[in-house]
Copies of this chain bind each other. A is one copy, B any other.
Amino acid sequence: MDFTKFMNKFNEIERTLSPTSSLRLTFDNISPESEEPDANKRLWGVPVPPFVSDKVVSWIEEEFNEPPIYYNGNAVIRKVENVRMIDRYNAKNPTVGTLYLTATHLIFVEPDSNKETWILHMHIANIEKLPLSTTGSPLLIRCKTFLSVTFVIPKDSECHDVYTSLMKLYQPVSINKLYCFNYQPAKDDFPKSSGWDFFKLENEFRRLRVPNDIWTLCTLNMNYELCDTYPRQIYVPQEANTAMLIGSSRFRSKGRLPALTYLHSNKASICRCSQPLSGFSARCLEDEQMLEAIRKTNPNTDYMYVVDTRPRINAMANRAAGKGYENEAFYENIKFHFLGIENIHVQRTSLQKLIEACEQKTPTMSGFLNSLESSGWLKNIRSILDTSSFIASAVDKGVSVVVHCSDGWDRTAQVCSLAALMLDPYYRTIKGFQALIEKDWLAFGHKFSERCGHVQTDQREVSPIFTQFLDCTWQLMTQRSDAFEFNERFLLILHDHVHSCQFGTFVGNCEKDRLDLKLSERTFSLWGFMANHLNEYINPLYKPDVDKTIKPNLQPQCIKFWRGMFSRFESGVHPREPLSDLLLVSKDHCTSLEDHVQHLTKRIASFKNYISKSAKKLQDATAKTYKEPASEINDNKYNYDRKMSELSSADDDHPLKPTEMSFANLSLNERIDSASIKEEINSVAVDWKSMRNVTACSCSTPFDQFSKKTHCWKCGDIFCERCIDKSIPLPGQDSGKPVPVCRTCFRLVQKTSP
């Protein structure tokens, strides 16, 4: 059987079958890029899709003599039966099932409960073979999504097989083998181009009113000559000349010269760069002039800050390598600050310890609190927020800031984006947050491939820098839930897709990498995908009109362990019904009812109007009848064709013209009228089904804690995101705005309202 056909069929089945988790849905649709895979590459006579590397093919051929079996249309490389899955909180009741290893996923199927656990290979962080136990050989798999699961495989040899297979599959050597180059969304989802053009750097700077008479576009980097990890377009002070720019660039690590990243309305700005190559004594006049030029862009204060995000000791240590920090003696009118965010190695260890804190075998309260403290995770989060807050409040007070760390693409990216997030309400919208990531992380460069371990790399390069940025954002969100358009789910989806490489968005380390890889042609954009799911990310508490600058409370009690991220997959830890989801439903319900009330009120007004006018008319008519009954009957004939249903368009301002109406035609049109009013009234669900104990959509998709449950505004029933994909105005609502309805209701409304 043809592999492609299998894959297509699998995709088709997938779209109808019940998934275990809605999060999974976004990761499991894979099919080859073209209908015809490379005809030369075959495995047991079956064409192999191009994303399975030759190495894997030959390895499979060497290892096996038989053709593969299939699970759900997925070619299975390994299938192991009687596997026990142990999750930490259920160690006493492991579930027994079958483990399938495919080219892209590890799938565990529990035959009794019909439950499936899918693990995307790209999400695997590490695999550990634990010591043999009496029940079998345990394999501990830790994921980048903080899922931690142990499979106990009866035979040690089988376990070893699965282990070695996974080791080969989970981390590609080449960036060209990443999942995104093969991922194909469901047919009618969105086109490949969607999302790639959402955020253009020049548009974002135009929004900040740049270029202007003070800041200009620097054209020296159009071919990445000045700095190949910077964007083509960088904005610098008008005053900065070519010599200054080139000089400064040469004096900065990796050529990352000071460039504008955020301009506040008060003319104070945030510029970013890397450390100077100052060593113990070197100086660079052009760099000094460059910083002076930046200082002068802000006429309101006669000094500016240079924030070195590193602890002073780290900065000093760098001098031995010819790098280091600015010599205060050479830079005038600048106040230097060291702000103590630790380096990537400390952060990596910190996360490892945090994960260990969550994974205690016999969890004790002191054990957890001690491990949480000694992991330093919250301390590190707090120091990132502290530095960002320092920058934001300086800018808010009108003082410009130049920020750097070592290479200026880890801590600098964190604090520049977080400071801007605190300063500019736009960045706290869904679109704005994406634009912020595009600017400070994608355009200005961040080593996603290494930091997230997308490809096989030096383990010392891996570090949760972007995860920390999301954690900091979450901390701000929990403190100021009214200031953010998006919710926790938005951050989790973002986090998971940064690591899944399902979309090209976070592939590569800088703008140049992404152009070279032709990602916008070869892969889908996460922004395009997210644009189709915006309603899942809405924070019901958001009000755009809140304070421009938000000032986080950095008291230790206010920095919290992000259970939603790090204990996400621990069943029983989470609230059954997240308050924010309930609130969102309540607000939607209110909106629907308010609208319906408006409509009914107007309908009553028109009836009232109609009755009173008609009564008057009748009185006149009754008086008339005795004189000229015939003429009245003629009038009736004229009115005979007017439909009562015209009432439905009547409101206070445009009432029916009752003087032209008469009652004689009523009985004839009553049925139409009755039906239309009934339709109006029934078109809006007054009662909405309670979210409590709703465990599955009517399409039988089971709901879990991550599932977005949506009400149909017409029938009030609860559906999953895939079933509520239509919007239509309801006849019983006054605003005429399209509202979410289920497919059945959509057809009903479509049928009746032409």
Interface residues, chain A, with chain B CB atoms under 8 Å away: 89, 358, 360, 363-370, 372-373, 376, 378-379, 382, 478-482, 541, 543, 546, 553, 555-559, 561, 563, 567, 570, 572-573, 575-577, 579-580, 582-583, 586-587, 589-590, 593-594, 596-598, 600-601, 603-604, 607-608, 610-612, 614-616, 618-619, 622, 625-626, 629, 663-664, 666-667, 670, 673-674, 677, 681, 684, 686-688, 690, 692
Tell me which residues across on chain B come within 8 A of A667, comparing CB atoms: 612, 615-616, 619
A601 touches B681 (CB 8 A): yes
Residue of B nearest to A680 (CB): B604
**Cβ-closest 6 pairs across A and B:** A615-B666, A368-B556, A586-B586, A593-B593, A369-B373, A600-B600
A373 to B374, CA, bound (A): 11
Q: How distant is the Cα of A546 from the Cα of B593 in the complex, in angstroms?
A: 28
- CB neighbours (8 Å) of A579 from chain B are 481, 541, 579-580, 583
Main secondary structure of the interface of A (DSSP, over half): helix
Shortest Cβ gap from A667 to chain B (Å): 5
Q: How far is the CB of A82 from chain B (nearest CB, A)?
A: 29
Docked pose: A441 CA to B364 CA in angstroms: 29
Q: How far is the CA of A586 from the CA of B670 in the complex (A)?
A: 38
Quick check: B664 and A619 within 8 Å, CB to CB? yes
The residue in chain B whose Cβ has the minimal distance to the Cβ of A601 is B681
Task: Give complex CA distance A518, B625 in Å.
Answer: 86
Residues in B neighbouring A670, C-beta threshold 8 A: 612, 615
Contacts of A664 in B (CB 8 A): 615, 618-619, 622
Q: A89–B554 Cα gap in the complex (Å)?
A: 11
With A576-B482, A577-B481, A619-B664 as contacts: A364 and B556 at CB distance below 8 Å: yes
Q: Given known contacts A580-B579, A663-B614, is B561 in contact with A567 (CB within 8 Å)? A: no
Q: What's the number of copies of this chain in the assembled complex?
A: 2
Sample of 19 A–B contacts (CB below 8 Å): A365-B382, A368-B557, A369-B378, A369-B556, A482-B577, A541-B577, A541-B582, A553-B573, A586-B587, A590-B593, A590-B688, A596-B597, A598-B686, A604-B604, A604-B607, A608-B673, A612-B673, A614-B663, A618-B666
Tell whether, in the assembled complex, residue B480 and residue A576 are in contact, meaning their CB atoms are under 8 Å apart: yes
Chain B residues with CB below 8 A from A580, complex form: 579
Pair A543/B692 contact, Cβ less than 8 Å: yes
Q: Could you say which residues of chain B place their CB within 8 Å of the CB of A607? A: 604, 607-608, 611
| Residue from B358, B558, B601 in contact with A573 in the complex, judged by beta carbons closer than 8 Å | B558
Instruction: Report yes or no: B363 in contact with A555, Cβ–Cβ below 8 A.
Output: yes
| Interface pair B663/A619, CB less than 8 Å apart | yes
Instruction: Give Cα A558–Cα B576 distance, bound, in whole angstroms.
Output: 14
- Among candidates B370, B376, B563, B666, residue contacting A557 with C-beta atoms closer than 8 Å: B563
Contacts of A366 in B (CB 8 A): 373, 376, 379
Which residues of B have CB within 8 Å of A590? 586, 589-590, 593, 688
Tell me the complex Cα distance, A597–B690, Å: 19
A621: nearest residue on chain B (CB-CB)?
B622
- Closest residue of chain B to A540, judged by CB? B582
Instruction: Check A553–B541 contact: CB distance below 8 A.
Output: no
Q: Which residues of B contact A576 (CB under 8 A)?
A: 480-482
- Chain B residues with CB under 8 A of A360: 556
Q: Which of B478, B557, B622 is within 8 Å of A625, CB to CB?
A: B622
A475: shortest Cβ distance to chain B, in Å? 12
Residues on B with beta carbons closer than 8 Å to the beta carbon of A575: 478-479, 481
Of A358, A369, A608, A673, chain B has the most CB atoms within 10 Å of the CB of A369
Taking the nearest CB of chain B, how far is it from the CB of A233, in angstroms?
A: 39
